[in-house]
């Protein structure tokens, strides 16, 4: 008789009502410790309800690999569920394009797990300024995205440029953006620079410094007044979209630009789903069921501590924290991975309802995870992690919905994983 599957992320009421429907197979339960451990029941993750999921572990333990597993499982959901969902993967390392290819490399391992290699139909979005590089190198992409200068607030520019808002250059920036908004509703960076030059009251030093910053921003490769798909294009129902922002790492303001993009995206997603949620509630009142014209959203972010740090602030901090605290109500799930949970904003860890913790050794990171300990946990997190076998993808999973802690082994990927560490020999 087969062992019953374990469902995480779903309360007892939903388990009774839906059973395994709308869950994804992410791994198996580990019974025993270290070398004596063996795999038993399947572990299934709920995709019907919104969640805040934290995936933590030191480098090389399988965080990015696990993000890919969750993405694969969402794509394999029944069409009736999938058509009401949309996933956006923020790819800071340029590795998720490989999901378009099946994982033939680990076919024996997949056979042992009873699953088969499969390519995942993702859509890859790249910044407009990097399309030539992708074409020349043969890297796959599906669509080009761009941003409009008029979509950014004064605060966005201040965060991106690292400007003090109360210094003359910050005051000048705010004045110029407000002038542009009043004169030209759909203004460009060219219009901003033109207004700076026309200003008669500010010092030449501050004007030149601000012009230099906007001239640099124009070379970031993300702004276009005509070409490129908007952020809304990422929200196609039943689709997994990969936003590849890896090439910004070559720029001096690389993380600032990434934070700017993610912050703008998070704000737009929240606004879209708040509006959609009101329409769905009206539909329930009038017809007894909700018409989901706008899908529920899953947003996946690796290196999350770079965008929502525990100390300091980025252009993404405030909008992402809003999603963490309020996003589940309108239907937005967040999956946040980091190798340094200690450097992640404490509110993020406090709000997670599912934590997948792989091997961690730094005491600061272990202490950060202790903040999510609940009364149903009978032993310390460090003890639980120490009992895991020394294999990549071995983790403990804390589920606040079912109030349990489990040891688990993440299943192998069915699509190709491009995030493996390189090796200095030719692999056969």
The C-alpha atoms of residue 251 and residue 263 are separated, in whole angstroms, by 18
For 358, the 3-state DSSP assignment is coil
Which among 43, 80, 123, 4 is positioned nearest to 394, based on CA atoms? 43
C-alpha 246/C-alpha 305 separation (Å) is 16
User: Which pLDDT score is estimated for 194?
Assistant: 95
Q: Residue range 128-133: average pLDDT?
A: 88
- Mind listing the pLDDT tens digit for each residue in 238-296? 999 999 999 886 666 778 889 988 988 898 899 889 998 888 888 777 776 666 678 99
Closest CA to 12 of 376, 402, 397, 403: 402
Confidence category of residue 379, pLDDT binned at 50, 70, 90: low
Domains located in the chain, CATH noted: 49-103+112-144+230-379 (3.40.50.300), 149-218 (no CATH)
Q: pLDDT value at position 139?
A: 85
Look up the pTM and report it. Answer: 0.89
Which of 254-258, 330-334, 344-348 holds the top average pLDDT? 330-334
pLDDT, residue 231, reads: 63
pLDDT at 423: 54
CB 155 within 8 A of CB 173: no
Give residue 290's pLDDT: 63
Radius of gyration of the chain from its Cα atoms, rounded to whole angstroms:
23
H helices of 219-329, in order, are: 254-287, 317-326
SS3 427: coil
pLDDT score at 66: 95
**Contact predicate 240/123, CB 8 Å:** yes
| Residue range 211-228: mean pLDDT, rounded | 83
């Amino acid at each position: 008789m087969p062992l019953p599957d374990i469902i995480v992320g779903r309360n007892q009421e939903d388990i009774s009502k839906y059973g395994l429907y709308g869950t994804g197979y992410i791994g198996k339960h580990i019974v025993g410790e270290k070398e004596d451990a063996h795999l038993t029941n399947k572990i299934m993750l709920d995709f019907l309800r919104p969640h805040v999921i934290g995936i933590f572990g030191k480098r090389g333990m399988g965080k990015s690999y696990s993000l890919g597993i969750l993405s694969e499982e969402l794509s394999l959901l029944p069409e009736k569920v999938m058509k009401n969902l949309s996933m956006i993967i923020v790819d800071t390392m340029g590795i998720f394009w490989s999901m378009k290819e099946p994982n033939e490399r680990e076919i024996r391992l997949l056979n042992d797990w009873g699953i088969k290699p499969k390519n995942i139909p993702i859509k890859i979005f790249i910044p407009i300024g990097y399309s030539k590089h992708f074409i020349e190198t043969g890297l796959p992409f599906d669509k080009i995205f761009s941003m409009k200068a008029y979509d950014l607030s004064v605060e966005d520019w201040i965060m991106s440029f690292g400007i003090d808002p109360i210094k003359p250059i910050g005051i000048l920036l705010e004045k110029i953006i407000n002038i542009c908004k009043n004169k030209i509703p759909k203004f460009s960076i060219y219009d901003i620079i033109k207004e700076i030059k026309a200003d008669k009251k500010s010092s030449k030093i501050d004007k030149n410094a601000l012009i230099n910053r906007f001239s640099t921003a124009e070379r970031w490769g993300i702004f276009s007044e005509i070409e490129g798909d908007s952020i809304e294009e990422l929200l196609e129902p039943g689709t997994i979209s990969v936003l590849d922002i890896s090439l910004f790492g070559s720029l001096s303001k690389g993380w600032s630009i990434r934070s700017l993009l993610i912050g703008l995206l998070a704000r737009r997603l929240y606004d879209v789903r708040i509006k959609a949620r009101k329409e769905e509630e009206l539909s329930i009142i009038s017809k007894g069921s909700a018409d989901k014209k706008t899908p529920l959203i899953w947003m996946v972010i690796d290196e999350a501590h770079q965008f929502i740090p525990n100390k300091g602030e980025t252009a993404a901090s405030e909008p992402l924290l809003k999603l963490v605290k309020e996003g589940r109500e309108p239907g937005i799930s967040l999956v946040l991975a980091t190798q340094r949970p200690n450097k992640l904003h404490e509110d993020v860890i406090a709000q997670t309802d599912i934590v997948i913790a792989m091997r961690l050794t730094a005491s600061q990171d272990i202490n950060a995870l202790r903040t999510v300990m609940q009364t149903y946990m009978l032993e310390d997190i460090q003890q639980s992690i120490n009992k895991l076998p020394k294999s990549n993808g071995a983790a403990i999973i804390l589920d606040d919905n079912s109030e349990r802690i489990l040891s688990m082994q993440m299943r192998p990927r069915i699509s190709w994983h491009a995030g493996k560490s390189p090796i200095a020999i030719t692999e056969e």
